[in-house]
Every structure is written in C-alpha cells, then in structure tokens.
Amino acid sequence: MDELLSEGLSLMVFGMGFVIVFLTLLVIATSAMSRIVMRFEPAPVPKAAAKAKTMSSNPADDAQLIAVMTAAIHKFRNDRKGQ
Amino acid sequence: MDELLSEGLSLMVFGMGFVIVFLTLLVIATSAMSRIVMRFEPAPVPKAAAKAKTMSSNPADDAQLIAVMTAAIHKFRNDRKGQ
Amino acid sequence: MDELLSEGLSLMVFGMGFVIVFLTLLVIATSAMSRIVMRFEPAPVPKAAAKAKTMSSNPADDAQLIAVMTAAIHKFRNDRKGQ
Amino acid sequence: MEKLLSIWFASGMYNITFGQFFMIIVGLVLLYLAINKKFEPLLLVPIGFGGILANIPEAGMAFSAVENALHFARPEVVRDLAATLGATSFDPDQLKHIYYDSNASTHAAASLVAQDAGYSNGMLYNFYTIAVASGAAPLLIFMGVGAMTDFGPLLANPRTLFLGAAAQFGIFATVLGAVGLTSLGWMNFSIKEAAAIGIIGGADGPTAIYVSTMLAPHLLGAIAVSAYAYMALVPMVQPPIMRALTTQRERKIVMSQLRHVSKREKIFFPIVLMLLVAMLLPDAAPLLGMFCFGNLMRECGVVDRLSDTAQNALINIVTIFLGLSVGSKLSADKFLDLQTLGILVLGIVAFAVGTAAGVLMAKLMNQMMGGNAINPLIGSAGVSAVPMAARVSNKLGLEANSQNFLLMHAMGPNVAGVIGSAVAAGVMIKFVG
Amino acid sequence: MEKLLSIWFASGMYNITFGQFFMIIVGLVLLYLAINKKFEPLLLVPIGFGGILANIPEAGMAFSAVENALHFARPEVVRDLAATLGATSFDPDQLKHIYYDSNASTHAAASLVAQDAGYSNGMLYNFYTIAVASGAAPLLIFMGVGAMTDFGPLLANPRTLFLGAAAQFGIFATVLGAVGLTSLGWMNFSIKEAAAIGIIGGADGPTAIYVSTMLAPHLLGAIAVSAYAYMALVPMVQPPIMRALTTQRERKIVMSQLRHVSKREKIFFPIVLMLLVAMLLPDAAPLLGMFCFGNLMRECGVVDRLSDTAQNALINIVTIFLGLSVGSKLSADKFLDLQTLGILVLGIVAFAVGTAAGVLMAKLMNQMMGGNAINPLIGSAGVSAVPMAARVSNKLGLEANSQNFLLMHAMGPNVAGVIGSAVAAGVMIKFVG
Amino acid sequence: MEKLLSIWFASGMYNITFGQFFMIIVGLVLLYLAINKKFEPLLLVPIGFGGILANIPEAGMAFSAVENALHFARPEVVRDLAATLGATSFDPDQLKHIYYDSNASTHAAASLVAQDAGYSNGMLYNFYTIAVASGAAPLLIFMGVGAMTDFGPLLANPRTLFLGAAAQFGIFATVLGAVGLTSLGWMNFSIKEAAAIGIIGGADGPTAIYVSTMLAPHLLGAIAVSAYAYMALVPMVQPPIMRALTTQRERKIVMSQLRHVSKREKIFFPIVLMLLVAMLLPDAAPLLGMFCFGNLMRECGVVDRLSDTAQNALINIVTIFLGLSVGSKLSADKFLDLQTLGILVLGIVAFAVGTAAGVLMAKLMNQMMGGNAINPLIGSAGVSAVPMAARVSNKLGLEANSQNFLLMHAMGPNVAGVIGSAVAAGVMIKFVG
Ligand code: NA
Ligand code: NA
Ligand code: NA
C-alpha cells in the first residue's frame, strides 16, 4: 500500500515536472522559431486577410447577398410588369 | 427427406408467426409511443415545414431562379447598352 | 554474375517485346471497338457538349457571372437610391 | 524461346476453362444489365466486374493462398498441405475439398503453409474475408440505409407494418419450395441453403447477403445476384400480380392524407424498435441494431456529420468492397451448378409470392376497415425493394385514377418490409444457423 | 411447441440479467444526454447506442468467440477450451477469467477452438479489436483534430503554453487521489489504473481512450464515458471555480490584441513540436506525431484534399467505429462495479483541480507580468475540452466586462492543453506502462 | 533521481543514432521539397512525415512487435525468440536477420512470443502491413486513378498507345543497367531488385510501389521516394532531352484536332482492355483490373456516387495510409545503404531513357505517316507521370509555336504510359516474381 502511494507521489512529481519542462522548452523553441521566421519575412501580409474577406463564405454575408439579389430580381420583375 | 420437409414446414409456420407477432407488437409499441409523444407535444409544428420551403433546394425552383436571374442580368446589360 | 546479366538481357528483350505486342493488340482491339461502336451510333452527339456548356462550372465563367451579377445588383441599388 | 513458351503457358488464352469463359460472359451480361438497363447499378457494376476479375485464368484473385497453392500444385507444396490437412490423398482437387470442410485451426495452419511456399491470398479473397465473411459490410450498409430511411410515413400509419409482415410470406414459401424440390429429388438443398435462398424474397440486398454469409456462403454469389436482379425487375414482376388480385374499384381508392409526424416520434422510433428486438429476437440484433443506429443518427439532429458520412463516403466505400467481394463468388467452380438455376427460379417465385401476400393482406385490412381506407396496391410495397416497389404502387394507382398519389402511403409498408425481412432473417439464423 | 419454447428460452426477455437491464438504461441516459442536452453528441450517441447493443442478452455482440462459447457452455466445447487454456476447472466463469489473464498465444489458440465449435466474434468486439485495441482509432482522430486545430493564437502568445502545462496538475492530482483511496482501503486501484483514471483530467477524449487502452483496457468504458460527459459539463463545472479564485478586477482585464501569425510559423510549429517530442519523450510520439501530422497537412497548403478528408470523411468514419467500440465496453460485467463509481467521482475532481491549477497559474503569470497582462479566466481553458473551455472563459469575461472578448486569447491555452495532456500521457505510459 | 535518469536513458536525445538523425534530416528535406517546391506533395508530405516518425529513437513506430522486442532485448525474451526462430545465437542483431529470412509460420509464432512479452507492433508497421504489404493500397489508388482518367484523347488516336509502349524502354534499360552495375561489381542487385528498380522508369507511383512490394519490399522506401521525386522533376529532366532529339521544324508540327469520342466508346474501352489483360497477362490483372474498374465506374454514368468516392474520400484515405507506410520504410537501417544511392542514380537514368525512347518512337511514327502528322514532343509524355509529362509536351510545343496546343494530343500517350508500365509490371512479376 505504502509503496503504491509512493509510486503515485513520484509519478506526480516527475510527471508534472516533465510536463512543465517540456512545455517550457516548447515555449522557447516556438519563440525562437517565430523570431527566425519573422526575420526572414518581416512585414505581415495583409493581402491574405483581404483576399480571405472577398472570398468569404460567411453565412451572414451570403444571407445578405441573397437578400440583395432577391430584391434585385423582385425589382426587375416589377419593372417588367410595368412595361 | 421427409424430415427436411417437416423442418421446412415448421420453419414456415414459426417463422411467419414470429414475424407477424413481432410486427404486431411493433405496431402497438409505436402507436403507444406516438400517443405519449403527442400528449407532451400537442400542436404540430408548421414552422418547420415553412422553413423547409424557403430553404428549398428543389431543382425545379433553382431552375426558375436561374431563369429569373439570367433575365435580370440580360435586362441589366440591355439597360447598360442603352446608356 | 554472367547468368544475372543474361537474365537481365532476356527480361529486357521479352519484356519490351511483350509490352509492344500487348499495346499493338490493344491498338487493334480499340480501333475495332471504336469502328463497331460508331457504326451503331453514327452521328456524334453535339447535345452533350451544348448541355455541358450551359451547366459549365468553369471558374472563369463563374467569375464573369459573378461580376455581371454584382454589377446588376449595384445598378439596382443605385436605381433604388435614385427613387 | 523458353520464356516465350512460358508466357504462353501462363496466359489466360491457354488456360481458360469453359466455365471461366462462361462466367466472364455472365459478368459482361451483369454489366450490360447494370449500365444499359439500370438494374441496381450500384451493386451490379461492382459485382459484374468482380465476377470478371474472379474468372481471369491463373490470376487467382478470388482464391485463398491455399487454393492458389493447390492450383499450381508443386509436388512438395501439395505434400506439405496434405500433411497439414491430415489427408492421405495428394490429389489437388480432393485436397481442396478437404480444405473447404476443415475447421478454423486447420485453415489457419494450411494458410501458413501456403504462404511459406510463396503463395498469397488474391485481392478479392482478402476483400471478401474482411468485408463480407466477417459480416461487417452488410451491417455497415444497413447502417447507411438506416441513415437514409425516413420512417415518417410508417409512423403516420403504423398499421402498414402488417403489410410489411405479410409480404415476408414470400420468404417462407420459398423455403418450403426449396425443401419441396429437394423432397421431389429435383434439387438438393439443405435446410440452411433453403433458408438462405428464401431470404431473396425479402427483396433486401444487405439482408440477403448477411443471411447467406451465415447459412450458405457457397451460394452467396447466386443469391446476391438474383436478389439484386429481381429487385431491379420489380417494375416488371409486380404489376401483373397486383392487377390480377385487385379490382379497378380497389385500385381507385384514394387514401386520406398522412398526419404530421413530429421529430420526437422519429427519434423514439429506432429506440423502440431496437428495444423490441433486444427483448424478442437477439439474433436479429446485429442487422436491426445497425439499422436503428443509422436511423437514430439521421433523426437525432445532433450528429449530422456522422449521418452524412454514413449515407455517403462510408456506404459508398463499403459498397465498392461488398460488390467486388460478392463478384468474387462468381467463380466458375462455385457458380456453375444446377443449384444456381434453382436459386434463380426460386428467387422469382419468392418475389411473386411476397407481392401477392402483401396485396391480399392489404385487401383484408381494407375489408376490415370498411372497404375504403386502404388501397390494396400499397400492399405489394411490403416486399421492400425500397423505393422501387413503392413507386410501382404509385404508378398503378395513377393508372387507375390520375389524381391518386400513393407514393407516400406505399413508403410505410415499403420500409416496414425492410424491418420484416430483417426479423425473418433473425428467425432463420436462430432456427437453422 | 418445442420451437416456441426454444424461441422463448432464447429471447432477451427470458435471459436478461439485472445488470444488462441496468446498462441498457445507462445507454438510454447517455442518448438522452447526447440528444437533449447536447453532451458531446458525436461520441455519446455512438457510445450510448453501442452500450445498448452490447447488453442485448444472448446476442453477444460485444464478446469474443471464446466468451460466446463459454456463455453457451456446451460441455465438449468447454472441455476443449479448458484444455487449451491449461485449466483444471470446467466452470465457464472461471475459464473466462483464466482466458482474460492468459497471454497472446493462448488467446489465439482458444479463439481457434471457439471458432472450430462454430462461435464467432461479435461485431462490436471486432470493431473494438481493429479500431481501439490496436490504438489506431484514437490516433486517427487525433490526426483529424490536428487538421482542425489552428495554432495561431498559441503562436501569437506562446507563454500561454504554461497555462496548458499547469492545468495538467488535475491529471496527476487525480492519480494521487486514486492511489490515496486505495491506501485508505476505500477503493482498489493499481498504479496503472490510477494513471488511466487520472488522464480523464486531460479533458481530451482520444488521449484518454488511447491511454486507458494501453494501461487499463477493462476500465475503458467508464473512463471514456466520464471523460466525454465531463467535457460536456465544463460550462457547469468550471465557472464556480473560476469565480471563486479570481477577483472582479482580474476578470475585467482586457488583453491586448494578438499579433498576426504568418503562414510559415504555422507550418513550422508542428515540425518543431514533433522534433521536441522525438528528442524528449518517444512514448508520446504516436499521439503527438499523428496530431502534428494532421496539423501540418492543414497548414502546409499543398495537400488540402488530404486535410479535408482527415477532417471529414475519415474522422467521421473513425468516430462511428470508436464510439460503438467504446460502447461495447459498457457491458454489465465490466461496467457495474464500485470502480466505476470511483472513476466518476475522481473524474470530476480531476476537472476541478485542473481548472483551479490553470486559473492559479494564470494569476501567477499575471502578477509576474505586472498585473494587467493576462486575464486569469483564460487559465481554465488549459484543461483543453476544446473549444468548450475557451468559450467558458469568454463568457465569464463578457459577464465581467461586456467588451471583453477573451475567446481568441483562451484558444492559446486551450490547444496548449491538448499538447500538455498528450505529454502527460506519454510520461504515464513511460513510467507505468 | 532514478526516474529522472530513466527518462533520460529513454529519451530520444540519449538514444539517437547517426543514421536516425540523418534520416530525420531526409524526412525534413522531403517535406521541404513537397511544401516549398510542390514536389508531388500528396505523397511526399505523408512519406516525409512518416519517415520522421519512423526514425524517432525508442518509439519503434515502424517496427514489428518482434523487432521491438529484439531492440529492448530483455534476456528471457531474447531466449524465447531464439528458440522460436530455431537459432543458436542470442545476439539480437543476428536474430533480427534470422527473423527477416524466416517463413510465414515462424513469423506468426515469433510475433505471438513478442506479444506475450508485452511488445506490440508500431502503428506505422500496422499501417504498412494492412495497406501496403497486402497490396491493397496501391490497387485502391489505381482504382481511384482509373476513376480520374479520361481515355478520350487516347481513343481519338489509339496509335498513341505505341508511344506509351516505347517509353517503357526506360524500365527495361534500367533493369539492364542495374544488373550491369552488379556484373561490374559496383553494386549488388539481384534480378528481383533490378526489376523493382527498373519500374521507377514507369513514372507511376502506385505501380512502382506495387511491384517493389512484390519483388523487393526492403527497397520500397528508396524506390517510392525516387519514383515520386523524379515524377516531380519531370519538368526539369525532360525538356533538354526533348530539345536535343527534335528539330525546330518537328516541334512546330501542329496536330489535327482530335475527333469526338462517344460515351459508348469510353464505356467499352476499360472492358476491352480488361479482357485483353485476362487473355494475355494474368499477372497484370490486379493492377489493370482495378484501374479498369475505376475507369468503368467513371464512364458508365450509373454509379456516379461510387466514382466520386473512389476519386475523393477513398483515394485520399488510402493516400494518407500509403504515404505514412512508405515513410515507415525510411528507417535508417533499411534506407542508409549504397543500394539507395544506386537506386537514385538508376531512377533518373530510367526517366531519361524512357523520355528519349518515347520521343524517338514519335519521330519514327511521324516519318512513317508522312512527316507532318505527329509532333515528336508528345512522345515524351509516354513515360506517364500524368499529367505533368503532357504539360511539358504542351509547354515545349508552345515555345516553338505559340498557337501549338499539344496538351490533349499528349494526354493520349500519357495515359497509354500508365497502361504500358502496368503491363511491364505484370511481365516482371511473371518472370522474376
Ligand atoms: Na423485405
Ligand atoms: Na488537456
Ligand atoms: Na508509365
């Protein structure tokens, strides 16, 4: 029983310690990587964001588009009726 | 041979009997389930149907929509030409 | 070693020979098949091509369509503003 | 020169047997029916093509490593296999039959011996083992079918379940027919084989495949082919029977519109069905369990992405493997047999009897409900063959009265027929399995 | 008459045990939670339904051929199995336990004996063996999750990885709790079982399933169910703890907007992570390897069709099989146990401790950075439960200050938590596996 | 402290060998080529990542249970394995080689021993066994490729099949090269290995993988990598050869527009091809059978949902597994070898010779048809590398004459090259398999 408890304790200490060490190293590695990447590619690319916007398949946008188109068609029909 | 025939006969009688008994019980169980469900949820929901209609992706509707839109674009182009 | 070389040589001669024979037979079989098929179905079907055109999901076409529609909607809005 | 000869001796042209030639023709005919006549193409295209592949001489695509080893019959390999099989004969054909009859341990041992000798399972054999022999493919297809099935019409009018029950008479009548032919000495079917043949009358592909995998795997090819072929023939087989058994007045009966069925009822139905199966017939649990699971995914509304996958990518993938695997059972030595002819004849009888029983049950119910409630034409839809049989009912209804749309009314017995034949399958597995 | 009786004696109603009845209720409750309460329905619908299927009496869908043979216990089969297992007893229950404890060779031999006697593996057992016992399904799901994960927020602020580390304290505290309960004599968990239970605190389904498959497969059902159930309960479990540990002022902290993260950084991140795993903890390589692979497919931009498939068709297919397989472990004899109760209690403790540890770490980091840089509410997201926990952080932030959108800030620790618990899983497999 | 040391002794950093380090670099280079240079990314991303995973020290993801057991080499396990393998040595390395050389029965027995000792197959090893060693993955990819292939241009001008034949000269010349190098004592390739290397010249990934799985599985990694890498290099390798062998006048030849090809011809073509294979070369039946099946699904028009799945979900899933599996063969002990260098050199020779042979054959055909019918530039497309090689032909045509669109004309030899190399594969499996 005691042995089990000590096994549990050491698993906790070493396990938690390892998790922290690992993620600390990951923080360091990631930060270093980001810094290197940014050095070679300094300016952020606002183009990508812009492009994403125009190609947006955002449902809200689509709904608006459909609404506008429906209205356009409606107007067109009324125009035609009036002719 | 005779034994085979009697096996076949009894399979028929018991099998068909079982199918009927099972589906009869299913009729009873289903009817009871429906009655209970409907008691807790009395009014049918016409909303769902309505919603389904507006979001319809019925090909016939689409064809009509495309036709209307094509006409709309056509008119728009002619308008433009006229300008 | 020598045996290996002769194995390689014979694999080359027979292999390449077989490939040529096989594909020659395929040319003959295919040509015969096409001739038979065309005899039973003489006129080419321009309908299919036409149909394909109208249903085209060609990105270029789509882009044009979107451009036209955007313009149509734009005009519609301006019309409305003017009212 | 030696090499040239060896290529000729190994070629298909040199080795083809009449049986293989004939079965390749059968495969081409299946492709023709599937492509030109639209006979259940989703299954018959893979089955037909699989049948051709299975009969390519010397390729052994449909054979196990052991069968391939016995086909090429190198003496030392044959000797080793004979020892493993505990046989005194060294005749490859005899050894093949001993292998078929031997148990799982011997199979495993013989397979290792054949692999040691450099032979391997054909690809179609692998597909068959993994997809079909394990029972997985028909169950996964049933799950997908469940995810595609709308029980609304059935829930709106649950009494149509009786029609789905009645039409299963075709199954059991065919079993009796098969044992009758055997008693007369015209055929030679065991009770297991008779049961597997009967299930053709269930007009439901995966059920038929599942049952024959369990009861008579050697008949799988013939049973699957006739099940799918006759399902495609439903628009030709059913109408004359339906017209003969109904009056013009009956065919003109317009049924009252179906009530609205709530989402909640649709969610509860597969659970109720599942529990009933659990309580009454555990042998039908795999089939109906997967079916109900698929339907619950469809209706519960919270796992739409799983339901979509079950109805599309997954069922399509499984269909490809199932079709090729079934096709692999169209190898000449297993298909060309008097039994196959018997199966084809009994299969059409099963469909006809089931159709008649469904229509007669519908007439009876109509009488009991006053004579104007149920159009007997929807009875034939109880055989299942979803949704073909329901469309046939609708078409004959329109013929009699151009305003008489029976489609939704026929969908009730149509899906009931799926449940009915799965129950019948469970009973048969229980009694003769 | 005999047949009628035999069908009754084989029916579920006649054979159902109290345990099976109870577990079917459990399955129905899981379905209710999944469908009505939207508790992680993608997993809990298949798990719940699989649980029902596994407990259908006599169907044996969750059992191996050997278990099925021992259930039906034909004397000659029992005798053969006893011989194979090297047992002197002929009691089926005892033989079952000997079978469970025996090694791979004996398993293979016993399985052949059972198949020779005509028994076969249940379908759910097959699914479990192929999908889960092999470890494939959780890894493939992890690949799909990787393909769905955007590491942008984490890369914009890598220090949030510390929050993902801290929240793993819940895992190890629970391990200690489990061995503590055992020391007190209240429970009886081995260190392997304690480790498998602890991983519930990782709040990450596939990781929990992978670890418990490795360390304590007999607890898989209970562990998976409590992992997914508590993940669904995150919006109820976390807020009180978060409120208790933070001041109103802290909750109002508005974090500065995240910097733009370039595509190239996102491509490099999974590679860097993979190499770090390779260098430090090979035991986490399968889990994090597949995760990084999925993420690389997502970000590299040249294999979009593979990434789409990993995120859709493939993950959905695997989810169906994984869910049914986990459900198969809800069979009465394996689930109804005091241990299950202990697992449920310890699981909720794990979530609570992890949440608290994350929040406290965030407070600490905030202090160290001047007191206004990090809103401690994002600490709780470190337990993972993606994206639920991040949403909870966001919701509490908005409560305190209606302009305080924490969602993107919380996504950093949220995905860090996935990495953290996979690392913890690797450590535990290394130390006690 | 002991635990800390144990984690260090088990870490990748402590255990990494130079070979593993080097192969991880190779994996990173493959990822770089795939992502930055767009070298066949669909395959090279999974292969590269799989290669990294396979070389993570101590993780054993690419190893079988037996290899893992021998790696950790606990004395009692080594003793048991030696007994099973019938070896007198207890040296793990020697035992590993005895294991590699032993037959299927011994493999199965050794695997059970290793599992009894608690070792299991690595995940990549499992993927390799199921997807690649069985032959299934390349065949399924070939089915998908068939479903993506339009034989219209080939049917419009069937003589382009000759170009697809001629370009296969690269395959056989390379075989001769490989045995020549061996005769000179510079390399050491068996005839099987030479044949597997030659197939790189087929410029067709799944064919190369299928053949090398059959003839030289230990070379699979190197062969697959060079096949895909050189396919990606086609735009660099081919143009100089094409320019050197053609005159400016020849490159300017404008070919007459292709005739319309009817749907029916397209349906018949895969059937005709299949029957020809069946009659002449059964050994090519698996490859070309699946290819024709895929193409028939595409063209027949009645199974579009199966064709869509074969072209998308299924081929993508299989590609992921195939790529990772091939990557698993990039483990240091199998890849780092003089042979690999030889393969890389011979592979590029194969492409170059095939290109030249195709162009020369096109020149010959052009002469025979009057000198103005065939632009020799389309000959190089006969190596396959679909559709890259056809695009190269088109590009060089446009260079010579800006109105000379050769793309559709080059698609004929391009798909003919696929058939040609599958036939060549069949011949080699027949003769040396
Ligand atoms: Na039916
Ligand atoms: Na976590
Ligand atoms: Na080629």
pLDDT score for A39: 87
Taking the C-alpha atoms of D236, D240, D243 and D245 in order, what is their torsion angle to the nearest 10 degrees? Answer: -120
- Report the run of H or E that residue E183 belongs to, with start and end: helix E169-183
Total of domains in chain B? 2
Verify that A52 and A35 share a domain, yes or no. Answer: no
| Backbone torsion region of residue D87, taken as left when φ is above 0, otherwise alpha when ψ lies between -120 and 50, otherwise beta | beta
Q: How many CB pairs under 8 A join B and E?
A: 5
Q: How far is the CA of D419 from the centre of ligand 1 (A)?
A: 7
| Percentage of chain E lying above the pLDDT 70 cut | 100
Cβ atoms of residues D32 and D309 within 8 Å: no
User: pLDDT of E273-328, one tens digit each?
Assistant: 999 999 999 999 999 999 999 999 999 999 999 999 999 999 999 999 999 999 99
Verify that C34 and C53 share a domain, yes or no. Answer: no
E312 and D314 in contact by Cβ < 8 A? no
Q: If you average pLDDT over residues B46-75, what whole number do you get?
A: 45
Cβ atoms of residues F396 and F407 within 8 Å: no
User: How many other C-beta atoms lie within 10 A of the C-beta of residue C33?
Assistant: 19
- The subunits that touch chain C, with at least 3 C-beta pairs less than 8 Å apart, are A, B, D, F
Say if residue E25's pLDDT is above 70: yes
How far does CA E360 lie from the centroid of its chain? 25
Average model confidence (pLDDT) across chain D: 92
| Structural domain containing residue A58 | 46-83
- What does pTM read for this prediction? 0.91
Preferred mutation among B69, B70, B76 to probe C, highest tally of C CBs within 10 A: B76
Q: What is the DSSP string of B13-26?
A: HHHHHHHHHHHHHH
Angle, CA F65 vertex, CA F59 and CA F66 arms, to 5°: 115
* A56/chain B closest Cα distance in angstroms: 20
What would the two tokens of residue C68 be? 């036209």
Q: If you average pLDDT over residues F160-184, what whole number do you get?
A: 92
Instruction: Give me the residue label for tokens 């074969």.
Output: F310
* B73/chain C closest Cα distance in angstroms: 6
Q: Which residues of E touch A22 (CB under 8 A)?
A: 165, 276, 280-281, 423
Task: Determine D/E contact with 3+ CB pairs under 8 A as the test.
Answer: yes
Chain C nearest-CA residue for F151 = C30
pLDDT score for A69: 53
pLDDT score for E12: 81
User: pLDDT of D34-47, one tens digit each?
Assistant: 999 988 899 999 99
D42 and F278 in contact by Cβ < 8 A? no
Chain D nearest-CA residue for B34 = D265
Query: Would you say the C-alpha torsion D13, D18, D24, D25 has a positive or negative sign?
Result: positive
Say if residue B24's pLDDT is above 90: yes
pLDDT score for D12: 81
| Percentage of chain D lying above the pLDDT 70 cut | 100
Q: How far is the CA of D421 from the centre of ligand 1 (A)?
A: 4
Categorize the per-residue pLDDT at C47 as very low, low, confident or very high, splitting at 50, 70 and 90: very low
D4 and C10 in contact by Cβ < 8 A? no
- Tens digit of pLDDT at every position of chain A (83 positions): 578 888 899 899 989 999 999 999 999 999 999 999 988 875 544 444 434 333 334 444 444 445 555 555 555 455 544 44
* Closest in F103, F279, F310 to D320, CB measured: F310
- The subunits that touch chain B, with at least 3 C-beta pairs less than 8 Å apart, are A, C, D, E
Task: Determine D/C contact with 3+ CB pairs under 8 A as the test.
Answer: yes
Q: Which residues of A touch E192 (CB under 8 A)?
A: none
Cβ atoms of residues F357 and F424 within 8 Å: no
Verify that B28 and B58 share a domain, yes or no. Answer: no
Identify which ligand lies nearest to the alpha carbon of D227: 1
Verify that C51 and C35 share a domain, yes or no. Answer: no
| Backbone torsion region of residue F385, taken as left when φ is above 0, otherwise alpha when ψ lies between -120 and 50, otherwise beta | left
User: pLDDT of E199-240, one tens digit each?
Assistant: 999 889 999 999 999 999 999 989 998 899 888 889 999 999
pLDDT score for F25: 95
pLDDT score for B57: 39
pLDDT score for E361: 94
Categorize the per-residue pLDDT at B53 as very low, low, confident or very high, splitting at 50, 70 and 90: very low
| E244 burial level (CB within 10 Å; 0-12, 13-18, 19+) | exposed
User: pLDDT of E360-412, one tens digit each?
Assistant: 999 999 999 888 889 999 999 999 888 889 999 999 999 998 888 999 999 99
Preferred mutation among E14, E39, E56 to probe D, highest tally of D CBs within 10 A: E56
E7 and B10 in contact by Cβ < 8 A? no
Q: How many CB pairs under 8 A join E and F?
A: 117
**Helix segments in D186-284, DSSP class H:** 191-198, 205-215, 220-245, 248-251, 263-280
- The subunits that touch chain F, with at least 3 C-beta pairs less than 8 Å apart, are A, C, D, E
Verify that B79 and B51 share a domain, yes or no. Answer: yes
Q: If you average pLDDT over residues F296-303, what whole number do you get?
A: 96
Q: If you average pLDDT over residues F160-189, what whole number do you get?
A: 92
F296 and D49 in contact by Cβ < 8 A? yes
Q: Which residues of B touch E7 (CB under 8 A)?
A: 14, 18
CA atoms within a 13 Å half-sphere pointing along the CA-CB vector of E119? 28
Verify that B59 and B30 share a domain, yes or no. Answer: no
Verify that C52 and C23 share a domain, yes or no. Answer: no
Say if residue D349's pLDDT is above 80: yes
Which residues touch F168 (CB under 8 Å, ≥6 apart)? C16, C19, F201, F202, F354, F357, F382, F417, F420, F421, F423, F424
pLDDT score for D64: 94
Identify which ligand lies nearest to the alpha carbon of B19: 1
Q: How far is the CA of D140 from the centre of ligand 1 (A)?
A: 18
Kindly report which listed range (D49-58, E11-20, F90-99) carries the lowest average pLDDT score: E11-20
User: pLDDT of E150-162, one tens digit each?
Assistant: 999 999 999 999 9
D423 and B23 in contact by Cβ < 8 A? yes
C3 touches chain A (CB under 8 A): no
Q: How far is the CA of E119 from the centre of ligand 1 (A)?
A: 27
User: pLDDT of D178-191, one tens digit each?
Assistant: 999 999 988 889 99
- Of F423, F432, F431, the C-alpha closest to F207 is F423
Say if residue E418's pLDDT is above 90: yes
D165 and B24 in contact by Cβ < 8 A? yes
Q: Which residues of A touch F7 (CB under 8 A)?
A: 14, 18
Verify that C37 and C54 share a domain, yes or no. Answer: no
| Backbone torsion region of residue F246, taken as left when φ is above 0, otherwise alpha when ψ lies between -120 and 50, otherwise beta | beta
F314 and D312 in contact by Cβ < 8 A? no
pLDDT score for E15: 87
d(CA E28, CA E285): 37
Task: Determine C/E contact with 3+ CB pairs under 8 A as the test.
Answer: no
Task: Determine A/D contact with 3+ CB pairs under 8 A as the test.
Answer: no
pLDDT score for D332: 83
Preferred mutation among B30, B31, B36, B41 to probe D, highest tally of D CBs within 10 A: B30
* B9/chain E closest Cα distance in angstroms: 12
Say if residue F185's pLDDT is above 90: no
Instruction: Give me the residue label for tokens 């090909």.
Output: B59
* Closest in F143, F271, F279 to D13, CB measured: F279
* Ramachandran angles phi, psi of D411, nearest 5°: -65, -30
User: pLDDT of D106-142, one tens digit each?
Assistant: 999 999 999 999 899 999 999 999 999 999 999 999 9
User: pLDDT of E64-95, one tens digit each?
Assistant: 999 999 999 999 999 999 999 998 889 999 99
Categorize the per-residue pLDDT at D419 as very low, low, confident or very high, splitting at 50, 70 and 90: very high
| Percentage of chain D lying above the pLDDT 90 cut | 76
Q: Which residues of C touch D4 (CB under 8 A)?
A: 14
Verify that B33 and B3 share a domain, yes or no. Answer: yes
Q: If you average pLDDT over residues F94-123, what whole number do you get?
A: 92
pLDDT score for A77: 52
Q: What is each CA distance from D124 to D61, D317, D325, E395, F214, in whole angstroms?
A: 5, 15, 6, 55, 17
- The subunits that touch chain A, with at least 3 C-beta pairs less than 8 Å apart, are B, C, E, F
Q: How far is the CA of E294 from the centre of ligand 3 (A)?
A: 31
Q: How far is the CA of E352 from the centre of ligand 2 (A)?
A: 13
Q: How many CB pairs under 8 A join B and C?
A: 15
Which residues touch B32 (CB under 8 Å, ≥6 apart)? none
Q: If you average pLDDT over residues E170-187, what whole number do you get?
A: 91
Preferred mutation among B57, B62, B64, B68 to probe A, highest tally of A CBs within 10 A: B68
Cβ atoms of residues E200 and E208 within 8 Å: yes
Verify that B34 and B5 share a domain, yes or no. Answer: yes
Q: Which residues of D touch B48 (CB under 8 A)?
A: 263
Chain D nearest-CA residue for B8 = D176
Categorize the per-residue pLDDT at B52 as very low, low, confident or very high, splitting at 50, 70 and 90: very low
Q: Higher pLDDT residue, E31 or A79?
A: E31
Q: How far is the CA of D354 from the centre of ligand 1 (A)?
A: 9
pLDDT score for F192: 94
Q: Which residues of F touch E267 (CB under 8 A)?
A: 35
* C76/chain A closest Cα distance in angstroms: 6
E41 and D300 in contact by Cβ < 8 A? yes
Preferred mutation among C22, C35, C38 to probe F, highest tally of F CBs within 10 A: C22
Verify that A37 and A51 share a domain, yes or no. Answer: no
Q: Which residues of A touch C76 (CB under 8 A)?
A: 68, 71-72, 75-76
User: pLDDT of F247-269, one tens digit each?
Assistant: 999 999 999 888 899 999 999 99
Verify that A21 and A51 share a domain, yes or no. Answer: no
